[in-house]
Structure formats: structure tokens, C-alpha cells
Amino acid sequence: MMDTEELRKHAKQIRINIVKMVANAKSGHPGGSLGAADIVTALYFNEMDITPENVHGTDRDRFVLSKGHNSPLLYAALSEKGILKDDLMTFRKIDSNLQGHPNMNETTGVDMSSGSLGQGLAVANGMALADRLSKKDHRIYCLLGDGECEEGEVWEAAMSAAHYKLDALCAIVDINGLQIDGNTADVIGPEPFDKKFEAFGWHVVKCDGHDFDDLKRAFDEARSTKGQPTVILAKTIKGKGVSFMENKAEWHGTAPNAEQTALALKELEAE
């Protein structure tokens, strides 16, 4: 297990690479990628059994990035872990493996091709069921956006996961209160997540998505919960780490210009 300081160093480098990738491509989704960086750092460096050695097989834990537009975060994390060898600066370039939305057939370490919102949890259900049938004891993690949870398929999958008592499944909802069209509360209003998931038969854990100790507590509780799936409701700040991006919906899918990139990297390097 890594200590908090080590995790912070990894998260810092992941955020730096997110900004560089999106700026270099002149397109991408920095806001949610930066906001969920601590969650994904905790998963890849403390929680999941995934290494450069076992990544090419299925005898390991798996991660589904349901909100696939946050691919810069996934690529940066896989690179930081030593799993992904591709040049991150080829992100969104022609013929690159690092597409705008992750492709499991082309990119090492990607466990699901995602991008069409709402589909990831259903696929994670299938992974958990397959492991059960194969008598394998692995954890399946699925990261969803709070705006994404406006999709009906999320709740069909939630109902299915509870019905089959998929206790190896842990969903994480990245709750930053923003989506491409503005405040989630103004678009459809998916809250209250806790009561909804409880009604669908899930064990619910709340945590601070930027506090590594709190994230560890949440993942430990999920691991120890038996007989039902667990959802972690992680409160985050969209654009975390870059002051002018924080809590701004316009940075959902906007690339920084050269001046903004320099400012963002200066802030991140100073952390």
C-alpha cells in the first residue's frame, strides 16, 4: 500500500499529463479528467490488482471507465502505472491508439470501449457475472459521471446488479454537479443518488473524492460488503488542481490555449 504522499505525487503527474495531452491535441475533456484523478490514482496504485505483467489476461481486477470522454485520465493513469507504453502526446492524432474515447481492441490496459454514456455499468455487471461463473475472485470497478446517471440504462444495470447480488462489483459515481450543459440539477437533476441506489438494492458509501484516506475507507468498506453491490458516491471538484478550470462547466470539453496551458502546468507543478 502506498502512503498518501506517494499517491499525491502520482495524481499530480497524472493531472500534468492530462493538461499536456488535451492542449497538444487541441481537443478533449480536461474538467472531469482532472476531477476524477484522485479516484483513479487510488484505484490503480492502491486498490486494484493490475500490473504490467498481468494486464494482458483476465485473471485480475478490472476497471470500466463508463464516462469514456475522460480518456485522458485513463491513458495518463495507465502510463503512470507503466502499463501503457504509447506516447501520450499522440492523443487524438490520426492512427494513434489513444483515441478520444478508449478502444479496448487497440489500447493496452483498456478493459472496455466506452464513449456512449450509460453503458459501462451493464458491461461491468457482465464481467462480475463471468468471474462468478468461472469461480474467480476479482474486483470489478466502474466509474460513472453524475450527469451520465441521467441515462436510463444505468438504472437497468443497477437493478440487475442488485438482483444477482454482485458483491464483487463496485461502482463509483464522480459527483461534481456539472455536465456539458451546465449544472446537473438544472439539466435533469439525478439526485438524490444515495436514496436511489439504496432503493435499487445497493450498499451506499459516501466519500471525499480528493481525500486518499477517505477513498481508502470507502474502498475497504466496499470490499468487505457481501451479498450486494456497492456504490461509492465520491464528491469531487470538476477541473481540480487548475484554479481557472475548477467548478466551471465550460471546461467539460474545451482544450486550453498556449497561455492557459502554461498557467495550468505552473499551478500543478507548484502543488
Give the span between the Cα atoms of 213 and 19, in whole angstroms: 25
pTM summary value: 0.98
**pLDDT category, 1, cuts 50, 70, 90?**
confident
Checking if the pLDDT of 271 tops 90, the result is no
Q: What mean pLDDT is predicted for residues 53-79? A: 97
Q: What mean pLDDT is predicted for residues 54-65? A: 96
**Gyration radius of the chain's alpha carbons:** 17
Q: What mean pLDDT is predicted for residues 187-191? A: 95
The CATH number that applies at residue 104 is: 3.40.50.970
List, for residues 11-24, the tens digit of each pLDDT value: 999 999 999 999 99
Read off the C-alpha cell for 24: 497538444
Q: Which has the closest alpha carbon to 205: 172, 253, 162? A: 172
Number of domains within the chain: 1
Percentage of residues in the chain with pLDDT exceeding 70?
Answer: 100
Write down the pLDDT at residue 119. 98
Long-range contacts of 241-245 (CB under 8 A, 24+ apart): 241/12, 241/15, 241/34, 241/37, 241/267, 241/268, 241/271, 242/15, 242/19, 242/30, 242/34, 242/267, 242/268, 243/267, 245/30, 245/31, 245/34
Checking if the pLDDT of 153 tops 90, the result is yes
How many Cβ atoms are within 10 Å of 181's Cβ, its own excluded? 12
Give the span between the Cα atoms of 233 and 15, in whole angstroms: 21
List, for residues 199-241, the tens digit of each pLDDT value: 999 999 999 999 999 999 999 999 999 999 999 999 999 999 9
Average pLDDT, the chain: 97
Checking if the pLDDT of 264 tops 90, the result is yes
Give the span between the Cα atoms of 244 and 260, in whole angstroms: 9
Q: Under 8 Å CB-to-CB from 187, ≥6 apart: which residues?
A: 147, 150, 179, 181
What's the one-letter identity of residue 111? Answer: D
List, for residues 27-42, the tens digit of each pLDDT value: 999 999 999 999 999 9
End-to-end CA distance of the chain: 22
Give the span between the Cα atoms of 227 and 234, in whole angstroms: 22
Residue 100 structural domain:
4-270
